[in-house]
Amino acid sequence: MSDLSATYMGLKLANPVILGSSGLTSSAEGVRKAFDAGAGAVVLKSLFEEQLRKELGSVDAGPWSHPEAEAFLSRMGMNEGADEYLKLIDEAKKDGRGPVIASVNCVGEAFWMDFAGRVESAGADALELNLGQVPDNPNEDAAAVESRLERLVRDVRSSVRIPVAVKLGYGYTALGHLIKRLAKAGAQGAVLFNRFYKLDVDLDAMSLSSGPARSGPESYHDSLRWIALLDGRVGAELCASGGVHDGATVLKLVAAGAHAVQVCSAAYSKGYGVISSLLDDIRSWMSSRGIASLDELRGRLARRNSEHPELYGRLQYLEALHTR
Ligand SMILES: Cc1cc2nc3c(=O)[nH]c(=O)nc-3n(C[C@H](O)[C@H](O)[C@H](O)COP(=O)(O)O)c2cc1C
């Protein structure tokens, strides 16, 4: 019998496949379905700062207003604030089926310390900080952006004992250094990467429109590269997110060094049951190779274990350049 167990941020998982934060994890029913399908853990839908502001009676979301969150709130017709979210954590934990990771979409700094403590009291096993903002302010340099994120992690860390992960987009300079800094500030995990709302243009209407919400099976390569580059070098355990649609991709990401792997679009496309298919694929590959435990595979192809580290940062298709 293959041993798929994994450890991520000190959480013991039956397997490394986590259902990622999304509408699929916004109810206790969704969480139950995920565990029924065999998920190793679940990340709840993010509570957006705007929801908390609403509860706290703030009218003006100020400079941190988050268009994606506003769109989400109106689309889903959701008004529930912190209390509803804490109730969701409590219900999701009731069955005791596996680790439940809460998620908050942090933008400003002030809101999170108190709420993080309440998330912990409600029974969440860990907290994922969805640092989902695009660093687009031409007047804020990289050092200022990073310092802001670091303060945020440090503040949250100081108010909880449960493990904290940061979920990042890929639009940062010196990503390795940033994660190392966030790990020093107290993040035990880093999720690479979030998938932001895809912006598009409707030429007929000459207006902005939305691109595809879901990833395809070719979308995992950026996550794979960065996990292979950074595993064991930044002080945080890495969790893959983006483009996981089959068991082979989970195995590749684990070989690159991922401690856990999040699935979202595949579950939207094929239903929660896709998790059990992924696990079947993983087990059958492991037994065909005589690999008894997933730990034997983890990090085998990470840069830190390679004799050719230059291959991991290679950006050009050298072979193609030579042959054309
Ligand atoms: C419809 C939808 C809603 C999502 N909502 C959230 C969210 O609330 N918080 C979050 O951190 N990520 C959210 N995500 C991002 C996913 O958790 C995941 O990181 C991303 O989709 C990449 O994984 P995938 O390629 O398996 O979809 C959402 C993704 C989708 C498609």
What is the domain-level CATH number for residue 64?
3.20.20.70
pLDDT higher than threshold 70 for residue 83: yes
Distance 274 CA to ligand 1 centre (A): 16
- Beta-ladder partners of 237: 189
pLDDT higher than threshold 60 for residue 68: no
Distance 194 CA to ligand 1 centre (A): 7
- With cut-offs at 50, 70 and 90, classify the pLDDT of residue 71: low
3-state secondary structure of 184: helix
Whether 177 is covered by a domain: the verdict is yes
CA–CA separation, 176 and 129 (whole Å): 18
Distance 193 CA to ligand 1 centre (A): 10
Whether 1 is covered by a domain: the verdict is no
Higher-pLDDT residue of 241 and 47 is: 241
Whether 316 is covered by a domain: the verdict is yes
Q: Whose CA is nearest to atom 8 of ligand 1?
A: 46
- With cut-offs at 50, 70 and 90, classify the pLDDT of residue 61: very low
> How many domains does the chain divide into?
1
Whether 12 is covered by a domain: the verdict is yes
CA-wise closest residue to 101 among 265, 241, 273, 309: 241
Closest approach atom of ligand 1 to CA 23: 3
Task: Establish whether residue 98 lines the binding site of ligand 1, counting it when its CB lies within 6 angstroms of any ligand atom.
Answer: no
CA–CA separation, 158 and 116 (whole Å): 10
Closest approach atom of ligand 1 to CA 48: 8
CA-wise closest residue to 224 among 237, 236, 238, 214: 238
3-state secondary structure of 4: coil
Task: Establish whether residue 233 lines the binding site of ligand 1, counting it when its CB lies within 6 angstroms of any ligand atom.
Answer: no
Six-digit token pair at 299? 């990090």
CA–CA separation, 190 and 65 (whole Å): 24
Site to substitute for ligand 1 among 194, 198, 238, 249, most atoms within 8 A of C-beta: 194
Q: Whose CA is nearest to atom 28 of ligand 1?
A: 22
Is-contact 24 13, C-beta < 8 A?
no
Whether 303 is covered by a domain: the verdict is yes
Residue with tokens 């500030």: 185
Distance 215 CA to ligand 1 centre (A): 9
Dihedral angle, C-alpha 129, 135, 141, 142, nearest 10 °: 50
Is-contact 101 165, C-beta < 8 A?
yes
Q: Whose CA is nearest to atom 27 of ligand 1?
A: 265
DSSP string, 10-40: TEEESSSEEEPSSGGGSSHHHHHHHHHTT-S
Is-contact 131 91, C-beta < 8 A?
no
Residues of the domain holding 287: 6-323
Angle at 146 between CA 145 and CA 151, to 5 degrees: 105
Whether 22 is covered by a domain: the verdict is yes
Longest dimension (CA), the chain: 64
Distance 20 CA to ligand 1 centre (A): 6
Task: Establish whether residue 214 lines the binding site of ligand 1, counting it when its CB lies within 6 angstroms of any ligand atom.
Answer: yes
Percent of residues, the chain, with pLDDT higher than 90: 73
Task: Establish whether residue 93 lines the binding site of ligand 1, counting it when its CB lies within 6 angstroms of any ligand atom.
Answer: no
CA–CA separation, 194 and 50 (whole Å): 19
For range 41-56, the mean pLDDT:
78
pLDDT higher than threshold 80 for residue 209: yes
pLDDT digits (tens, 9 = 90+) for 220-256: 999 999 999 999 999 999 999 999 999 999 999 999 9
| Average pLDDT in the chain | 89
pLDDT higher than threshold 50 for residue 301: yes
CA-wise closest residue to 71 among 265, 269, 168, 213: 213
- With cut-offs at 50, 70 and 90, classify the pLDDT of residue 132: confident
Six-digit token pair at 70? 């506003």
For range 172-182, the mean pLDDT:
95
Distance 320 CA to ligand 1 centre (A): 34
pLDDT higher than threshold 70 for residue 219: yes
**What are the angstrom distances between the C-alpha of 219 and each of 19, 58, 91?**
17, 38, 33
Six-digit token pair at 110? 């002030």
